[in-house]
Structure 1
């Protein structure tokens, strides 16, 4: 039996939108310029998407994610009167992206007319079987059923036209979770999806890419902010712009308690010691604010960290288990200038959404080795930045908010005029596929 949250109505609506939108959206906006933008959504059996939602409570080593499926993956509202804020789980991006694809203005039911083919496979959710479920020792199988269906069971000519070079999908986890070598015996954590030669040609949109990716491109983690219209976006941006920044810097995270030298430990120690420092002439009430997010207590409670972020000039974004952090995008939503300690945290990741050449205009970079091993104080670096420069950087951060947020599905026409994280990801994917097909043709 499915959990109560997944009612029959929800499932019927999900199925209807999945199966019918591709035949109608081509007629929904006839004046759209869809040259080089046509996308075809491949039909997949429910085992590759819908059935994975029905299993939302069946992974004992992973959080029960049933409550995060509401609002097509945005999760429950933070409170009943909220219009833009949700308890969004980042791992639900596959649902969020799929729902937005269904209202993409340039869908075509004819794969032969398409410039790109979207695979509506919930890859990250399916990986739970191999990461935490009964197939943990069969991680090399992840994706093989999908490949067999795409290539042999469902209109093989769609795949054979470009052998997957025109296909793309979303994988709502770090790429590191999908690159276990096929030769590992016994297997370690992760699946081998991106190591399968069968999928080498497919573009995978992940939260985090490897340093030299071939298949994957990183796109922003979803935050909890999903405005439905331009008025709510503008209202939030005005609040961010007017917010008094009473703390110089903020660190919202867990970890840093190990005795071994590492950047998180250095940050926590510096934050604790800052309370005894003189703040004369700094203009701040506090030099460092620490929000303890240990044990995942902040993940679905944006109020816990968004208010402090609104009151800080700089948000520290050190790497954790992997280089990237959702907090980077939470901070930008709050107008908090990101401070990076490793280029793989963002600069080498999100080129479509945050161009690499622009980083000096909206962020600060401090090498983690200088902090951990050379005694460089983060506070000294940040306090040395002129106030005028801080204001300019914050304004650049605020201007980025629409680019890194995922607006709510079914949003107003006015808000659709501003490109959000989804729009930019689709544009980047189309351009990437076009370039690769041109290279193949030239060979």
Structure 2
């Protein structure tokens, strides 16, 4: 698979490298590995608890490194582009800041999440805490070697430094406490960590069941990356919130508040010296979300998938985010307040257009369904009449 993926990447470099200057080898490999090969929630749906995710991640990391070296050797001088990887991570905050066990558990949470992929790329190997915990649990389970694969000396050297930038997807935070899980329960990525994730009931939860709005965690995660990996160049590739309600929600004030909070914390991190170069809100349009399909909506624009032409309707967050982009931040509280007011006015107008939409929907149904059906029936009736006349004539 490593060679196949490298062939695919080189084909992409060859065909599009004259125009594409920023390449991401893998997006959210944590979800690919953990939910594809640990829990089986995502494709390919394998439930290889405590084993599959580690193996999948191992091959993803080696594949990323091979692609980076391919670009560096063959294409970089000609195309002058950059190759990175986009990693997803929540922030882990100790429940008790005076408890050393909780502090260590919170860092372990981030190391098993972000460090799992980032540490080999920036330091050459898996985090020490990850190797220790998985190795110890494996030994307690009677295994002769750790369930976490190992890199050879040559592989460590080959993988280290294979990133021109770090793509980062971040959405939420968890409180973390220490909890010792018995190894007798069997192998599991989640119990290998010896911790429990908690949420504060006061945190807003406007979207997916896992996505709570905790802006301050973003700044702490960005500073962790700065300290842990030598302040790499960062592009925030995904940051945003979904909608819990199934009805059309164009006046998405919760998304406005989410973006305001998280972008402000990112700007604070930049003032802290974190090397954030760019930010992309998640997402421009409603899109197919893993195994949730279109049941969860993340877009700044609502897409009506039931209609043939898939019309798009701007939400309030469209206008608000547009103003953030124009100002490259938040100029002053009074102006930001006016943004919010204009955004709500805009979505109210769009809602009025939607209210008048049933007539349009009816006309589309007539055009797309009724007319073709009547036409088909006419052809069938004509064919039957023709057969009847021919038989009568004979």
Higher relative contact order (CA 8 A, sep 6+): 1
Q: TM-score range by the shorter chain?
A: 0.3 to 0.5
Q: Which has the larger radius of gyration?
A: 2
TM-score for both structures, normalised by structure 1: 0.32
What TM-score does the superposition give when structure 2 sets the normalisation length?
A: 0.35
More helix by share: 2
